[in-house]
Structure 1
Amino acid sequence: MDGIDLIKRNVQEVVTEEELEALLNEKEHPTAYVGYEPSGKIHLGHVLTVNKLLDLQNAGFGITVLLADLHAYMNQKGTMEEVREVADYNKRCFIALGLDPEKTRFVYGTDFQLDPEYMLNVLRLTCSASLSRARRSMNEVGRKMDDPKVSQMVYPMMQAVDIAMLGVDVAVGGIDQRKIHMLAREGLPGLGYKAPLCIHIPILLGLDGTKMASSNDNYISVDDTEDSISRKLKKAFCPAGVAEDNPVLQLFRYHIFPRYEEVVIKRPEKYGGNLSFNDYWELESAFLDEALHPMDLKNCAVQYMNDILEPVRKVLQ
């Protein structure tokens, strides 16, 4: 897979593709970042962006990971001490998932977000952005947005300035970050900084086929035990012959195939023996034709997801 295909693999949107092509022509080693708000467990939604960072790293990008402890504090996620502890936990998880600590720059928000130049840029950006724009930007990512705090209106301004002050070319995030990224693209040139190119990753469903939520226990955390992953996947929504909105197939497309060149479905000989696939679309086609039973698919997902997450469990022991 060549560089541009690797960059665009499993991406929902690039803003813009023309800018991406120009960047790759202009720079031998462009840079990209993701900001993670330290709050709660690391789950497969976070891993999806880590997978994209690995793709970008393999395509020659320099990678920065922002452990946004100050953002988490402002978004009502705990005391500064609590969110810093979670940020440290996040860093250990991301390294165990494959980000090379020698090649990845890890930055805490409090390392630079309290500097005078940074704060002045945030204040300058608040002068050009409306309150309604700030609120719309936070609706997808904010906590208790029916009664938001003033800090949560400043949050998107800070995220935009993060991109400028970290000096990166590309901002990566879930599609729920789009409004904040568009604010950055429109607002940063007025502060004398370039507009960032943006890469957006889809938001995946929970294992029950509904929105992923901790209250539903419908997601996989990176520290889940083998038994827990097996239990969750055995009861996962996976209708035979249906690919659309199938969370088990999503695991193969977004998490398993990006890490394995071949996937083997192990089956007894009386049920046709093992099946091997070299890409996701071959597997999906077999499932759509009902040549692959949902339980065989689930059992295979258990095996590969446990292999992927075992390094994280070892680090966290």
Structure 2
Amino acid sequence: MAFPPVDEQMEVLRRGVEELIPEDELVEKVEQSRETETPLTVKLGCDPSRPDLHLGHTVVLRKLRQFQDLGHRAILIVGDFTGMIGDPSGRSKTRPQLTLEETRQHGRTYYEQATRILDPEKTEILYNSEWLDEMSFSDVIELSAQQTVARMLEREDFSNRYEAGKPISIHEFLYPLAQAQDSVHIEADVELGGTDQRFNLLLGRQIQEAQGQDPQVCMMLPLLEGTDGTEKMSKSLDNAIGITEAPEDMYGKVMSIPDDLIYRYVELITDVPTDELPKVKTFADENPRAAKAQLARRIVAMYHSEDEADAAQDHFEQTVVEGGTPDEMDEHAPDAEAGEEVGLLNLMRNAGLTESNSEGRRLIEQGAVSIDDETVEDTGLYVDVSERAPFVLKVGKRRYARIVWNGAR
């Protein structure tokens, strides 16, 4: 196939990249690819321990999609085998190990969500158990001999734990070696990852050279800050925006990011043309609320539809800006008899407003739950739905449900 000119490809590929090691080798690889009409093999490994993707994950996925659009070969490696070890990157303690069945299931979920960004017809998916599970103990010894303990302890997370007297299991040293072996197996030209994967990606380059291959180029993408504006986006930190979230929730969460992140979000997780980015920055500086609304609408349209983006914007304006109640909301009829009281925590969970009773309890304690605009303070509240319904149950700033009673069971 005819690849775009090298300069055009590099302009696309440099966008939003934190570190490229080494850049001159990538230019050479792109030049050779174009001359021989042979696509580069670009690798992205995914950790299947957390299968729910958020906008932070899309930073590196979008870069892989750019390689696809330029005509290169994209390989998504699901670490079902390495997932049983657990990536120690950035960890202060040993991660719990998963079963192969768990990692496989998580990997399928990851792929289903990742192909909302990647072209599914051009994405190859491989499970690294296919080759790692076949390695003999002598193979592992030979691989381990290509790295030293001193080099492993150069990793900040390992060195911090070692100095603090916290345990480091031997199997954790094998994780980056196994990830490097993935690069050897597919003969990767480029490996993508977040900046927290720097050590692992560079080790892959080293192991490829030790086994007689041309070393991969390591492309590191920044870690996107979450809605709190400080910590990297993470579901466990409650600052994430999931790519499968409801349009109204997605829109509202984007509107809650700090103003100084608007440009960063546009650059890293949208398809706004690069030559328009300076205008975006000016617009964000001069009118941050309008720029943020434009960003929120764009993101919802990317993962849902234009119509749903319009509806989410209207919902936000009506409920948050104007402080009103949406005209349309889901209805929930509890399975209760006349006079029977229903626990509010269960009611919120069953209505789909919270994922768990513990989340509901936390939100009540924060004053974020109301019934017909009256704030609820009692986490142990019970409600006689047959007497009180219909009423509007609001959780947080954007979640509503109309509670109705349809009569006795």
TM-score of the aligned structures, taking structure 1 as reference length: 0.80
- The amino acid across from 1:59 in the alignment is L
Query: 2-side partners of 1:306 and 1:147: how far apart?
Result: 44
Once the 2 structures are TM-superposed, how far is the Cα of residue 251 of structure 1 from its aligned partner? 1.5
- From 239, 244, 256, give the equivalent of 1:218: 239
- The amino acid across from 1:284 in the alignment is K
Gap change, CA 1:279 and 1:121, over 3 Å in 2: farther
2:21 aligned residue: 15
- The amino acid across from 2:54 in the alignment is H
Q: Is the contact between residue 77 and residue 83 of structure 1 (CA under 8 Å) also seen in structure 2?
A: no
1:287 aligned residue: 284
- Which SS does the other structure have where 2:61 is aligned? helix
Superposition pairs of residues 190-269 of structure 1, within 5 angstroms: 190-212=210-232, 213-238=234-259, 246-256=260-270, 259-261=271-273
Gap change, CA 1:42 and 1:233, over 3 Å in 2: same
Note if 1:159 corresponds to 2:179: yes
Superposition pairs of residues 57-72 of structure 1, within 5 angstroms: 57-72=68-83
- From 281, 304, 312, give the equivalent of 1:310: 304
- Which SS does the other structure have where 2:188 is aligned? coil
The Cα offsets for residues 171-197 of structure 1, whole Å up to 9 and x where unpaired, read as 111111111122222233222222211
- The amino acid across from 2:303 in the alignment is L
1:265 aligned residue: none
Query: 2-side partners of 1:88 and 1:171: how far apart?
Result: 21
1:243 aligned residue: none
Query: 2-side partners of 1:125 and 1:57: how far apart?
Result: 31
Query: 1-side partners of 2:223 and 2:177: how far apart?
Result: 23
Query: 2-side partners of 1:126 and 1:91: how far apart?
Result: 30
- Which SS does the other structure have where 2:45 is aligned? strand
Q: Is the contact between residue 122 and residue 157 of structure 1 (CA under 8 Å) also seen in structure 2?
A: no
Q: Is the contact between residue 125 and residue 191 of structure 1 (CA under 8 Å) also seen in structure 2?
A: no
Query: 2-side partners of 1:77 and 1:252: how far apart?
Result: 36
2:99 aligned residue: 79
Once the 2 structures are TM-superposed, how far is the Cα of residue 135 of structure 1 from its aligned partner? 4.7
Q: Is the contact between residue 64 and residue 107 of structure 1 (CA under 8 Å) also seen in structure 2?
A: yes
Query: 1-side partners of 2:140 and 2:214: how far apart?
Result: 16
TM-score of the aligned structures, taking structure 2 as reference length: 0.63
Q: Is the contact between residue 262 and residue 284 of structure 2 (CA under 8 Å) also seen in structure 1?
A: no
Once the 2 structures are TM-superposed, how far is the Cα of residue 3 of structure 1 from its aligned partner? 1.2
2:44 aligned residue: 34
Once the 2 structures are TM-superposed, how far is the Cα of residue 100 of structure 1 from its aligned partner? 2.2
2:31 aligned residue: 25
- From 268, 292, 315, give the equivalent of 1:298: 292
- The amino acid across from 2:48 in the alignment is P
- Which SS does the other structure have where 1:116 is aligned? coil
Once the 2 structures are TM-superposed, how far is the Cα of residue 64 of structure 1 from its aligned partner? 0.5
- The amino acid across from 1:231 in the alignment is G
Query: 1-side partners of 2:109 and 2:22: how far apart?
Result: 33
- Which SS does the other structure have where 2:226 is aligned? coil
Once the 2 structures are TM-superposed, how far is the Cα of residue 219 of structure 1 from its aligned partner? 1.6
Q: Is the contact between residue 137 and residue 180 of structure 1 (CA under 8 Å) also seen in structure 2?
A: no
- Which SS does the other structure have where 1:96 is aligned? coil
- The amino acid across from 1:94 in the alignment is A
Once the 2 structures are TM-superposed, how far is the Cα of residue 303 of structure 1 from its aligned partner? 0.9
Query: 2-side partners of 1:120 and 1:15: how far apart?
Result: 32
Q: Aligned residues: percent identity?
A: 23
CA-based RMSD of the aligned residues comes to 2.6
Query: 2-side partners of 1:7 and 1:195: how far apart?
Result: 19
- Which SS does the other structure have where 2:143 is aligned? helix
Gap change, CA 1:137 and 1:107, over 3 Å in 2: farther
Gap change, CA 1:287 and 1:96, over 3 Å in 2: closer
User: Can you give the 5+ residue segments of structure 1 that lack an aligned partner in the other structure?
Assistant: 239-245, 263-277
The Cα offsets for residues 110-164 of structure 1, whole Å up to 9 and x where unpaired, read as 12221237x7554323113122433544839xx9x94333221100001111101
Q: Is the contact between residue 121 and residue 191 of structure 1 (CA under 8 Å) also seen in structure 2?
A: no
Query: 1-side partners of 2:22 and 2:279: how far apart?
Result: 30
